[in-house]
Every structure is written in C-alpha cells, then in structure tokens.
Amino acid sequence: MVIIIGAGISGLSLAYFLEQKNIAYQLLEKSNEVGGYLQTKKISDFQFDLGANTILTDEFLMNFLKEIGTEIEIIEAKDVSKNRYILKKGKYRALPSKPQHLLWNNFFSWKTKWKIYQELKKKKENFDNETLSHFFERRFSKEIVDYALTPFVRGIYAGNPDNLLIEKTFPLLKKYEEEYGSVIRGFIKNKSTERKKTISFKNGMRTLPDFIAKKLKNITLDCEVENIQKSNEKYIIETNKGTFEGEKIVFALPSFMTSKLLCNILPESKVLNEIEYAPMKIVYSIYEKQDVKHQLNGFGGLNPAVENTFCLGSIWNSSIFEHRCKENQVMFTTFVGGSASPEKTKLSEQETKEKVHQELAQHYNIVKKPIFSYIYFWEKALPQYDKNCINAHQWIENQQKDNIFVCANWYGGVSLGDCIKKAKNLSENL
Ligand SMILES: Cc1cc2nc3c(=O)[nH]c(=O)nc-3n(C[C@H](O)[C@H](O)[C@H](O)COP(=O)(O)OP(=O)(O)OC[C@H]3O[C@@H](n4cnc5c(N)ncnc54)[C@H](O)[C@@H]3O)c2cc1C
C-alpha cells in the first residue's frame, strides 16, 4: 500500500497513475476539496484563478488531459497571447518571439545581438552551484539578464535569478553548454516539431484537480495527517480520521509540512525547512475596456527589476481567454512581492490596490479606477530552487531506500506539467 499525503496536482496525478497500474494506494487530503494551489474563484460575472492560470501542454500532457476527461472543457490561449511584453524605459515592448526576429527588432542593443551570435563560439566553463544570472551573463550579456531572464524568472518562480541555480531550474541549458559547447547550438540541434499549447479550462484551472479526483477510488478528504510512526517496516499514518498503514509513503505537500510530519521518526528531516518560499500577493483588476487605452495584444507584461516598479508584472487574462469578464471589460492579474521584494506583500489591502492601480494606469494609459478588484495572498507561493535547497534535495533522495518519496513542487520543477510528469515517473518506480 502506498500512502500519498496531499491532493494537490502532484498527489492527485500520482494517485491517478497508480490506479491505472492497479497499485494499491490511499490519498489523504486535509482540506474538504482537492487541488491545493489550483483554485478558481467566481464573483458575479468574473472568473479568476488564485494560483496557476495556464498549463503549457505537450503531447504527453494533452493525452493525459484527454484521458481524465477534460477534453471538452479545454480552452486554448488565443493566438495573440504568443506576444510577451517587457517593460523597458517605462514602456511595454514586445519581446522578439523567434530568434530570427531578434536581428530586425530593436528590443536589444546591437552589442547584445552580437553577444548572442558570439555565444556559439564561447568556451564551456563549469562553476559549482552557478546561479542563473551568472550563467546568462557569462554566455550572453547583462542586458539579457536584466530584460529577458529576470522578468521571466520573476514571473515563473517569483524568484531572483541572482540566487536561483541553473542546474535546478533550467538544467537543459547547462546540458546544451556541456554537450554542444553552446546553448543556441543545443536548441538548433534539438529543435522540436512538437507543438506546445498554452491552455486553461472553461471553468478555470480547478477543473484539472476536480476531473482527476473523479477518476480516483481511494481518496479521503478532510483528513489531516498529524503524525507518522514506523513499526515493522510499515508506516503508521495518524490522522483526524483514524490510522492508515502503508509500506511506502509519498509526500505531496510543501517541504516545511513534510519536515513537520517526519520529525518524530527522522529528526534530520529539519533540513527540509531550509527550502525557502517566496510570498506573493495577487491583485485582480477589472476595468471598462473603453477606459484602457492600450491594445493589450499579448499574454501580459513583465517588469524587470531594473525598472524599479511596485508590481512584478501582469497577465492580461481577457486577452488570453474568453469569458473571464464581460466583453466590454478587461481583466489584469497582477503579481506583487516575490523573493526579491517580500516586504511589498506587507502593505495593507487598500494600499496595495491603490499602488497596483497607479502603476497599471501609468503603463496602460488607464483613465478611470477599476470597477472591481480583489486580492489574494499566498504567504508561501513558490519554493525557491536556490543553494538552500541542495541539502534538502540530497536528504530526501536518500530516504527512498526506506520507502519515503517526494512528489511535490519543491523537488524537480514547479510547473503543473513538471508535477504531472514527476508523478508519472514516480508511479513507474513504486
Ligand atoms: C500564484 C501562483 C501562480 C502559478 N501559476 C502557474 C501557472 O500559470 N502554470 C503552472 O504550470 N504553474 C503555476 N504555478 C505553480 C503550480 O500551481 C504549483 O507548483 C502546483 O500547483 C503545486 O502543486 P503540489 O501538488 O505540488 O502542491 P500543493 O498544491 O501545495 O498541494 C499540497 C496539498 O497537500 C495538502 N496538505 C497539506 N498538509 C496536509 C496534511 N498534513 N495532511 C493531508 N494533506 C495535507 C494541502 O491541503 C494541498 O491540497 C503557480 C503557483 C502560484 C502560487
């Protein structure tokens, strides 16, 4: 029997793959609903996601989504959302989406364009625990770090590329340097013909956990794991709903909660507390379309740290998917805080809403206040893959010999796609 603790996307996917293989499992979830960070809210005519907004799918993930029955619920991002905007000198400018556009587009300076070309000939180097900023500045340029890397890393990890490690976040890039002597050459050699799609669901991202859960026979909700004991090679899982027993145990919940549950049988599990989480406030703003004098013809606008803004950036939800608000309105999801500026999440709701509106008004030429705004705070939004996670990862890997496993976003990738694929891989080894 495999006991899985936590029914976020990681635990649910693992339970699903085990069910397909007829491997006995029991999934325990403390909340009265599944999904963890995947939550969708509907207020009046507005629908918004509190956690993940989209999932980037490849063939494997599309097949998975079909298998769990979500096919008719899927909505693809509109074509226009392929455009990504970056704030440069106070104005949003489209980032070239294809390498060949780089030359003709004046987003980057000629010096940087030349450095991109030179990357093909740069010698390989190896640094222990190299950070993303160091890697990108070494292989490309500071301008790439400031205006391409940083805004995306703030968008994906709420993180700071001066701290995040290349090996833990984008290991493929390091592999390309090692194998081909150049990141660009690695991309050319491995050019995939597979079409990736950014998708969501008509009723928001909640659809994903809800549909997986419908396929599961052995899931217990409102069941908080409180303690774990070990007796005769079996794990005894104590919960508010009684005791469960299993030979294998999978932690599909945050690292600090994993540590808390393991500390009685394995005091060294406190190393898991070294993993840091970035806090993030999310502000949803709806404006009348006529009051926003910007085309919003893209996925959203990201703000590089060097632009010194209050917000990390915004997603332009109504440009990506239909039915997030009324036709004559536009919706922004704006991110505040992250590991580079956690103090910004400490402001009051009112102050935060005002600051966000001021910045949106300035950058998108908005002439009136929002007709609706809503704030959600994730105190521990995303785990940081920086040097603090190295010992924790090493430690949890060593526990596999004792049938203790992890399947969660703090190990092996944070994206939904990563979580589902890790679950698939783990299901092959249990
Ligand atoms: C604001 C934000 C935006 C994001 N945007 C995207 C995006 O657009 N695309 C993307 O791919 N990814 C995105 N992500 C990342 C992604 O959503 C998460 O990495 C992923 O959902 C984490 O899932 P998980 O199952 O690993 O953990 P969780 O969702 O944290 O699940 C853990 C579960 O364990 C349960 N639990 C906790 N303690 C106990 C206990 N003692 N007993 C039983 N159960 C317990 C919890 O209730 C929870 O349900 C975003 C994340 C955030 C925060």
- Compute the distance from residue 412 Cα to the ligand 1 centre, in Å: 14
Instruction: Give the C-alpha separation, 301 to 313, whole Å.
Output: 6
**Shortest-distance Cα residue to atom 10 of ligand 1:** 415
Query: From CA 404, how far away is CA 367, in angstroms rounded?
Result: 56
The residue contributing the CA closest to ligand 1 atom 1 is 51
Q: Which of 312, 228, 314 has its CA nearest to residue 265?
A: 228
What is the whole-number distance in angstroms between the Cα of residue 415 and the centre of ligand 1? 10
Side-chain half-sphere CA neighbours of 82 within 13 A: 8
The two three-digit tokens of residue 209, written as one number? 């956990």
Determine the pLDDT at residue 219. 98
The answer, yes or no, to whether any atom of ligand 1 lies below 6 A from the CB of 378, is yes
Tokens, residue 426: 């783990």
Q: Which of 240, 253, 376 to mutate to test the pocket of ligand 1 (most atoms within 8 A of CB)?
A: 253
Gap from CA of 189 to ligand 1 centroid (Å): 34
Low-confidence ranges of the chain (pLDDT < 70): 99-100
Asked if residue 424 lies in contact with residue 407, where contact means CB atoms within 8 angstroms, the answer is no
Locate the ligand 1 atom nearest the alpha carbon of residue 382 and give its number: 53
* Cβ contact 252:358 at 8 Å: no
| Ligand 1 and 49: CB distance under 6 A | no
Measured distance CA(168)–CA(160) in Å, rounded: 14
Give pLDDT, residue 105: 80
Q: Which fold has domain 100-189?
A: protoporphyrinogen ix oxidase, domain 3 (1.10.3110)
Residue pair 158/339 in contact by the 8 Å Cβ criterion? yes
Nearest to 253 by CA among 143, 407, 104, 45: 407
Q: How far is the CA of 77 from the centre of ligand 1 (A)?
A: 22
Q: For every residue of 304-360, which 3-state class applies, written as one string?
A: CHHHCCCCCEEECHHHHCCCCCCCCEEEEEEEEECCCCHHHHHCCHHHHHHHHHHHH
CA nearest to 45, candidates 283, 376, 371, 375: 371
C-alpha to C-alpha distance for 215 and 163, rounded to whole angstroms = 40
The sheet with strand 234-239 has its strands ordered as 225-231, 234-239, 242-246
Rg (CA), the chain: 22
Dihedral of alpha carbons 9, 11, 14, 19, sign: negative
Helix (H, G, I), strand (E, B) or coil at 422: helix
The residue contributing the CA closest to ligand 1 atom 7 is: 52
Ligand 1 pocket residue status of 253, Cβ below 6 Å = yes
Tell me what pLDDT residue 114 has.
93
Domain extent listing, the chain: 2-37+206-275+385-429, 100-189
31 Cα nearest atom in ligand 1: 47
Q: What is the fold, at CATH topology level, of the domain defined by 2-37+206-275+385-429?
A: FAD/NAD(P)-binding domain (3.50.50)
Q: Which of 27, 37, 226 to mutate to test the pocket of ligand 1 (most atoms within 8 A of CB)?
A: 37
9 lines ligand 1 (CB under 6 A): yes
> Would you state the pLDDT for residue 45?
87
Q: Please give the Cα distance from 165 to 391 (Å, whole number).
A: 13
pTM, full prediction: 0.96
pLDDT for 99: 67
pLDDT at 36 (0 to 100): 97
